[in-house]
Chain A
Amino acid sequence: MSTPQSKSKVQKKPPTNIFAGLNRDTFDYFDPSEYMKKFKKGISSQLIAAISKDKDEPEWMLHQRFKAYEYFTRIPMPDFGPGLEALDFDEICFFAKAADKKGGYENWEQVPAYIKNTFDRLGIPEAEKKVLAGVGAQYESEVVYHSLEKELATQGVLFLDMDVAVHRHPELVQKYFMKCVPANDHKFAALHGAVWSGGTFLYVPKGVKIEKPLQAYFRMNAMNMGQFEHTLIIIEEGAEAHYIEGCSAPKYGSNALHAGCVEIFVGKSAKFRYSSVENWSKDTYNLNTKRAIVEESATMEWVGGNMGSGVTMLYPCSILKGRNARADHLGIAFANSGQIQDTGAKIFHLGENTSSRLTMKSISKGGGRSIYRGDLRIAKSAKNAMSQVECDALILDPVSISDTYPNIKVDNNSATISHEARVGRLNEEDIFYLTSRGIPQAQAEAMIVNGFINPIVRELPLEYAVEMNRLIELEMENSIG
């Protein structure tokens, strides 16, 4: 949609739309990475010991890392989804530091200029000033900046670099760390457990309600980088929060790997929303694991956009453990040329009267392949569980592909489950209507695609909805590399 109209439209957007001016250069720009000379590629037990030593970790964490590494060597690659044969672990750098400041700087002015410039281009400091209650920024393997509004800190909210949390709050971390996603869950959970570095620790005490969202942004800069940030979120009884994650990396034409892990514990009657806009470069294998355990009467909401990566395998999971627990999953996946977006959701109903709703929209273009993979299970104990799943797929040309693989398993007769999916192309009548009113075809198509994803985008805060729409526009223009 590279029309003069669209460009002028972007330029006219009010300045509060922080992310409206994103373009290809924003993501593809990379800083010099001289620091990489100090770090080797490949994974070994020596590397794991070195990571732990560098972080001055307690003994239990080192033990946990070695246990995870043992699982990694034993567990086979996934036997479903996209082929991962081209992913060469010997060619990935599993740990690298661009700056050496434990826990990150507390002021953007202290962050080395070349790193700060990258985050400036991505709009993170500006978003922090205008719409966020706290920000974490990770560059390669470690966090370079972290902040939290003082008022929230005085209420007992903890929003820290994960490495720092291990030292400052060892009891809390040890109680929850990799208890939701155990290291033997699958190969990439094991890999993550062995080499994790950086990430976010968020603790919201009982009854505290955070109105503004908190954000963490993860940036890979160097070639063949691997990023393995760990996000651990504990929302205590009756508390409420919204956390946003963003991520990106430049394109080098050589593989990168992201195998992060998100663990969320939503306490009784608490409410938590996790939003993410993933825009890794198309060199990247995004093999991320995200899971939440939801207690009695609590609500977990997932809002996700997967635009980047060459191969994505990502299925956010809600375990509805307590009575009346609820989960909402909203997701968008855009598979452009050369991309496989294998995304979906897992929802396990364990408690009585639990309910879930899943809405997934996918778009395939230029030979891209989008796959919805769902796993919905209703346990015998989940009496009167209800679940509603809707998947819509748009295929924009004859060479693109859309697959849908939902798995539904029900072990009791009081559950009510419904699932619907539709696949099709853009409605020609809609395009005709718009073009007959003078709108160029490409722009008309982009408008229809934006309308298609609108039910999900509108769940994001305005600035991030603008970012998501802009990313879709860039994909429609083929401008993201």
Chain B
Amino acid sequence: MNEFRLPFIIEYPDKDDFIIAKCYETKQECYKLTIPTGKQLEKAIHIKFRASDTPLSLSLGIELQEGSSAVIIEDWSGDIKVPEINFVNHITCQANSNLTYVVLNGNSHQTKMTEKRVSNIASDAKCHIFTYHFGNKKLTSRLIQKTSGKGAEINTDIIAKVTDDRDLSFDCTHEFAEKQGSGEIVMKGIAQGSAMLNFDGLVNIKKTGGGSAGYLKQETLNLSPDTTVRAVPALKIDTNDVKAGHSAAIRNLNEEDLYYFGTRGIEKETAKKLLITGFLEKELKKIKKHKTAYEEVRKLI
């Protein structure tokens, strides 16, 4: 194993618990990480990307074989300076597997990044993708999670903070093609400066996806008069035995809340920070049990 130089470092105590292989079927530099059948990993696999002076074009496949479980952290934070990144991420969760996948994007504010993430989740398997975006000059992110077996559960949390004149654009789809799927998309953003933040979300329940329940939530805090914020929370429902819904909210910090803090001697800037942390707290709590990921996210915030 590892007869090739990886463009990332993998931190994990026992590297026999998984298989990392180079793939040659695509033009793009490509690696695949496989968690073998029945393997239940207790600690998180931490994949840390290296800095590069040249543009990076990379594909990373993740496969959880039947009955396995893992927490994987894809870490672009730290001193990552890459001028341009084109990243593709394919996730396959076989039956009864359980994946928690955390993306920490804190790379340079000069980096332009395009990412495409696609997951296929089989019967009774679970996949929860958390993506935290605090980096990039410009980001175009496309994420599609699909249920490909009965009772699959797919969840996606996208958290983004965009400042200055940066431009982050997210397009996330949950596609329920098999019966009794479930899951939620949460897209939360904070926009400042003259930044642009786009949230496109879609819950698509196919004719074959009867008994599925899908929800989409978008919330944005718009903190500056020069930002542009766009939200498209879409639903495409092709059958009636479903529970589906969405909500979207765009607002500034509540003046009454700021006043409340002020009357208790807390300065406005501190109060703002507290309110922003509160805005993200519910989503942060979801990964609290995954200590490494939680601590990394707190550092980014």
A residues with CB within 8 A of B:
364, 380, 393, 395-425
Contacts and interface: CB of A to CB of B under 8 A. Distances in A.
Contact of B228 (A393, A406, A409): A409
A419 B241 contact: no
Given A409-B229, A415-B222, A402 B237 contact: yes
Nearest to B234: A405
A281 to B, nearest CB: 26
Interface of B: 191, 207, 210, 220, 222-225, 227-252
A404 B252 CA distance: 26
Contacts of A404: 233-236, 246
A415 B250 contact: yes
A444 to B, nearest CB: 16
A408 B232 contact: yes
Contacts of A421: 233, 235, 245-247
B73 to A, nearest CB: 32
Contacts of B238: 401
Nearest to B213: A424
A413 B224 contact: yes
B247 A419 contact: yes
Residue among A364, A396, A420 with most chain B CB within 10 A: A420
A380 B220 CA distance: 17
Contacts of A411: 227-229
B252 A420 contact: no
A419 B249 contact: yes
Nearest to B199: A408
Residue among A414, A419, A423 with most chain B CB within 10 A: A423
B235 A402 contact: yes
B278 to A, nearest CB: 18
Contacts of B207: 398-399
B252 A413 contact: yes
5 contacts: A408-B230, A415-B222, A420-B246, A422-B244, A425-B242
Contacts of B243: 424
A409 B234 CA distance: 14
Given A418-B248, A418-B249, 11 more contacts: A399-B239, A400-B240, A401-B238, A403-B237, A406-B248, A408-B232, A410-B220, A415-B251, A420-B245, A423-B235, A423-B237
**Minimum-distance CB pairs A-B, first 4:** A395-B240, A404-B235, A419-B248, A425-B240
B275 to A, nearest CB: 14
A413 B252 CA distance: 6
Nearest to B217: A420
Contacts of A396: 240
Contacts of A398: 207, 210, 239-241
A404 B241 CA distance: 17
A242 to B, nearest CB: 32
Contacts of B236: 401, 403-404
A348 to B, nearest CB: 14
Contacts of A415: 222, 250-252
Contacts of B230: 407-410
B240 A413 contact: no
B233 A419 contact: yes
Contact of A417 (B210, B225, B246, B248): B248
Contacts of B242: 395, 423-425
Nearest to B250: A417
A400 B237 CA distance: 9
A403 B248 contact: no
Contacts of A400: 240
Given A408-B250, A421-B245, A413 B223 contact: yes
Residue among A399, A403, A404, A409 with most chain B CB within 10 A: A404
A422 B239 CA distance: 14
Nearest to B231: A408
Given A406-B248, A413-B225, A415-B250, A395 B231 contact: no
A419 B246 CA distance: 8
A400 B245 CA distance: 17
Contact of B229 (A406, A410, A425): A410
B228 to A, nearest CB: 5
A418 B223 contact: no
Given A398-B207, A422-B244, A407 B237 contact: no
Residue among B191, B228, B237, B240 with most chain A CB within 10 A: B240
Contacts of B223: 413
Contacts of A413: 191, 222-225, 227, 252
A387 to B, nearest CB: 9
B210 A406 contact: no
B232 A397 contact: no
A404 B17 CA distance: 44
Contact of B237 (A380, A395, A397, A412): A395
A133 to B, nearest CB: 41
A451 B147 CA distance: 35
A427 to B, nearest CB: 11
Nearest to B228: A411
B192 to A, nearest CB: 9
Given A397-B240, A425-B242, A408 B227 contact: no
B288 to A, nearest CB: 28
Contacts of B248: 406, 408, 417-420
A412 B247 contact: no
A415 B227 CA distance: 12
Nearest to B216: A421
A398 B191 CA distance: 41
A352 B234 CA distance: 28
B232 A407 contact: yes
Nearest to A384: B252
B222 A380 contact: no
Given A413-B222, A419-B249, A422-B244, A393 B229 contact: no
A423 B246 CA distance: 9
Contacts of A406: 231-234, 248
B227 A425 contact: no
A399 B206 CA distance: 11
A120 to B, nearest CB: 40
A409 B252 CA distance: 14
A399 B252 CA distance: 42
A417 B232 contact: no
A422 B217 CA distance: 12
Contact of A414 (B220, B225, B234, B240): B225
A397 B248 CA distance: 27
Contact of A410 (B235, B246, B250): B250
A421 B251 CA distance: 18
Contact of A380 (B225, B233, B240, B241): B225
Contacts of B249: 417-419
A425 B241 contact: yes
A388 to B, nearest CB: 10
Contacts of A364: 240
